[in-house]
Structure formats: C-alpha cells, structure tokens
Amino acid sequence: MVVQVLFTALVQGITEMFPVSSVGHAVIMPYLLGWTNLTASDQFLPFVVLLHLGTAIALLWYFRRDWIELIGAVLGLGGQPSGVRRANRRLFALIVVATIPAAILGKLLEHKLRQLFPSAVSASLFLMLNGVILLFADRLRRRSGQGRSGRGEIDRMSYAQSFLIGLLQALALIPGISRSGITMTAGLATGLSYEEAARFSFLLATPIILGAAVLEVPKAVHDHAHTMLAYGVLGGLVAGVFAYLATAFLMRHFKTHEVRALRPFAYYCLAVGAVVFVLALMGWHF
C-alpha cells in the first residue's frame, strides 16, 4: 500500500503541473497497474483531497512573491510604485474574472462530467485529443511571433479573454484534458509567450485547487477519520514536493524554449493515449 501511495502521489504532483492531465492519469494508471484496490476504496476520497492540498500549497509557495505583490497592491501595502501597483491590481482582477466561471462550472459539472467519462478507453481518447490541442498551441505560438516577452504581456489581456480562459479551464474535469494545457493554449491564443501563459495558468490554478481542497478537507476528515488520512498526509507531502519541482522545471523550460515547447508533452499524450486505447480494446487486465 505504501508503494501505491507514494507512486500515486508522485504522479499526481507531476501531472497536475505538466500539461498531460492529472485526472486522466488517475483513471489510466490504476487500470495499467491493477491498483483498483486503492481507487475503488471508499477511503480514496480523503487521500485524493490531501494530494490536491499538497499541490496547491506547492503552487502557492512557488509563486509566493507574486501573491505577496498582488495582495499588497490590492490592499495598498508594500510601497509599490504606482505603475507596478496598477499592473498588479489588474492582474489580480484578471485572475478573479477567470476564477469565477471556473469555480462555478467546476461545482456544477464535476460529478456529471467525470461520470460520463470514467473508463480507460475514454480517458485515452481525450488524452490523445489533449496532445492534438498542445500541438495546436505550439502552432499558435509560432504564428504570434517571438518578439514579445516579459511580465508586461499579461497587461494586454482583456477581461473577456481572461473570462474565456476560466470557462475553458472547466474542460479539465474530463479525464484526459489537461487544465494547465487548455489554459496555456488559451493564453497563447491571446498572444502570450510560453512563460507568461504558464505563469498565468499556474496563478489561476492556485485559488481553484486550494479552494477546492480546503472545502473538502474538513468533510474528508469528518467522514473518514482514522482510515486513509495518514496515507493522505504522506501523499500530500510527496505530491507537494514533486509539484514544486515540476513547476520549477516548467517555468525554466518555457523561459528557454520559445519554439515547440509543448511538443514533447503532446507526443507523450499521443503515445500513452494510443497505447492505453489499444490495450483497452484488446481487453487488457493486469
């Protein structure tokens, strides 16, 4: 059980940040490894909640300086120059605008969407679709050019574009569609660089993941005391560490790759999705 917990936490921490769908991997991995004893258990809920809490804390810590500046600008603290304060207030507003539709649609559609696509076959198909989306995103970036870069890019994003990114984020409830992948693609479509699209995607993810985890943790603790909570705490720590490392890697990767930065992740999604799809059609069972 400990091996399953540690490996699941590792995969969750990485895939939550990488544009390869953590939800899709949560469906595919137990199928491939035969770990349904863990995922089918009614004790799995508190475990998953604590994994998400770990990844949310990792995101918050990695972007702590951004959040300190954003909150300081909104509250009028920190003595920021007027131009910087104005830009930070606008970025904060863009995050709020994008968070609202994502939170509402997530609450309304989460269970319905995940019940519609629970199988390895559907997850593999949507994972391949996610790969196609990432290839399309690379194409968008090449067409938009490489001359614009820097943190001022997001200032040019409109509130309507931010709202649309929030709407698209809800598609990540479908196993196989990546939250970071779909929001980065939308960011690239507005003209952002890879680095800034990733930064906005991760800043947007922080309140969504953290808020959902904080709401669910008390329920999980109350309903499942003395069961998987110890494993959940361990898994949350592991997921948080690997989420932090994955975020650091991605921000460096997108900073140094201005051409085809999403292509490796696209190929991964297409390859894994195709393999799982074929195995599922052949009736593979561990």
Rg (CA), the chain: 19
The pairs formed by 279-283 with CB atoms below 8 angstroms and a separation of 24 or more are 279/32, 279/120, 280/31, 280/119, 280/120, 280/121, 280/124, 281/121
Contact 176, 127 (CB under 8 A): yes
CA distance 5 to 27: 15
Determine the pLDDT at residue 131. 97
Determine the pLDDT at residue 130. 97
Q: Kindly give the parts of the chain with pLDDT less than 70.
A: 37-46, 110-111, 113-118, 143-152, 216-217, 219-228, 285-286
In total, the chain counts a number of residues equal to: 286
CA distance 55 to 53: 6
- Please count the other Cβ atoms lying within 10 Å of the Cβ belonging to residue 136: 15
Please state the pTM of the whole predicted model: 0.88
Question: pLDDT tens-digit profile of 52-111?
Answer: 889 989 999 999 999 999 999 999 887 788 888 999 999 999 999 999 988 888 777 766
